[in-house]
């Protein structure tokens, strides 16, 4: 099997937990961490290396941002995180500057490399990375609403008492306040969700809970990292093992000239197909709302 190398830029709460999730699941032969805070990075690597004897024979070490350009997958999780009560857009100015310096230092990146943006606001920074790098858009995407979708499926699973794996429902649009569930296409083992006796009030409550969950976690403990790290590790597994799984990620929408989340087929080449779900009139409006919000943030 090919030796796979994953580099994580930003060894803070999110980056180091991604490394931990990758180690536990034996996803890559080599994991590299990069952080401008060298002491923090060293500490995380020493700590993570203690977990190695319980996992597969992965190699974990630090490197420079330049070296990260030669990896199979680059994950960017560097930058400012939300403070309690702050929305993701508030991070744009500070994080755009950080991402610019990282992307400039990364180049040239290998032809086959896949770049996953995690830093928020993830949709805008994914588009920014696509514009700055001379690299196929299908190989640059953001974690987007993958985490939000998992949150929604968890709530549906609890409500219906049916395993999440049998529930196909997606959160689309911005990884932010204008995200929305595509209820009209949601299915449980092929049965339309509308055939289950869930009231509009229950559906709205689940959508709101999904939208607000990150705020609540940040209010309680200052940061979110386990959920996003597990999602990013799952994205890496899908790519490395060429699983062709349908996964919602933030990707370029030519029609709107922005990045936002829809389900895609992911494999070793990155995004291999975009899946455009049929939307009802309300969902079409919600999508337009998300697009307009993202465009306004970009132009402001």
Residue numbers annotated as active site: 175
Closest contact distance (angstroms) between CB of 85 and ligand NAD is 14
Per CB under 6 A, which region of 94-102, 196-204, 205-213, 269-277 contacts ligand NAD? 94-102
List Cβ neighbours of 121 (8 Å cut-off, separation of 6 or more): 88, 89, 91, 92, 95, 175, 176, 297
Q: Answer whether 237's CB lies under 8 Å from 25's CB.
A: yes
Beta partners for residue 270, in sequence order: 267
3 state SS of 24: helix
Six-digit token pair at 29? 């032969």
Q: Answer whether 60's CB lies under 8 Å from 48's CB.
A: yes
Q: Binding of ligand NAD at residue 81 (CB under 6 A)?
A: yes
Beta partners for residue 251, in sequence order: 260
How many angstroms separate the CA atoms of 100 and 106, rounded? Answer: 10
Q: Binding of ligand NAD at residue 92 (CB under 6 A)?
A: no
Six-digit token pair at 32? 């590299």
Q: State which of positions 252-291 bind ligand NAD (CB under 6 A).
A: none
Per-residue x/- track, 222-241, ligand NAD (CB under 6 A): -xxx--x-------------
Q: Which of 77, 114, 236, 291 binds ligand NAD (CB under 6 A)?
A: 77
3 state SS of 271: strand
Q: Which of 113, 120, 150, 185 binds ligand NAD (CB under 6 A)?
A: 120
Six-digit token pair at 50? 């203690």
Per-residue x/- track, 1-20, ligand NAD (CB under 6 A): --------xxxxxxx-----
Q: Binding of ligand NAD at residue 95 (CB under 6 A)?
A: yes
Q: Binding of ligand NAD at residue 89 (CB under 6 A)?
A: no
Q: Catalog residues that contact ligand NAD under the rule CB under 6 A.
A: 9-15, 34-37, 40, 77-82, 91, 95, 98, 101-102, 118-120, 122, 143, 147, 175, 223-225, 228
């Amino acid at each position: 099997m090919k030796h796979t190398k994953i580099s994580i830029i930003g060894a803070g709460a999110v980056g180091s937990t991604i490394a931990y999730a990758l180690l536990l699941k034996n996803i890559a032969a080599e994991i590299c961490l990069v952080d401008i805070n060298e002491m923090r990075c060293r500490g995380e690597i020493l700590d993570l290396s203690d977990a190695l004897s319980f996992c597969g024979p992965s190699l974990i070490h630090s490197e420079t941002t330049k070296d990260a350009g030669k990896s199979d997958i680059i994950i960017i999780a560097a930058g400012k995180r939300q403070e309690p009560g702050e929305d993701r857009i508030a991070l744009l100015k500070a994080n755009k500057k950080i991402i610019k310096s990282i992307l400039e230092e990364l180049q040239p990146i290998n032809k086959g490399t896949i770049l996953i943006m995690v830093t928020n606001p993830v949709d805008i920074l994914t588009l920014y990375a696509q514009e700055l790098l001379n690299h196929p858009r299908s190989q640059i995407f953001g974690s987007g609403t993958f985490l939000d979708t998992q949150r929604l499926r968890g709530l549906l699973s609890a409500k219906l008492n049916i395993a999440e794996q049998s529930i196909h429902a997606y959160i689309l649009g911005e990884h932010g306040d204008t995200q929305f569930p595509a209820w009209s296409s949601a299915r449980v083992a092929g049965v339309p969700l509308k055939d289950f006796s869930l009231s509009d009030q229950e559906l709205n409550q689940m959508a709101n809970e999904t939208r607000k969950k990150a705020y609540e976690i940040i209010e309680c403990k200052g940061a979110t990292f386990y959920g996003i790290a597990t999602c990013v590790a799952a994205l890496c597994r899908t790519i490395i093992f060429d699983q062709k799984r349908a996964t919602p990620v933030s990707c370029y929408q030519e029609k709107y000239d922005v990045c936002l989340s829809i389900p895609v087929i992911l494999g070793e080449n990155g995004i291999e197909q975009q899946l455009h779900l049929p939307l009802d009139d309300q969902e079409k409006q919600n999508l337009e709302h998300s697009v307009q919000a993202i465009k306004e943030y970009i132009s402001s």
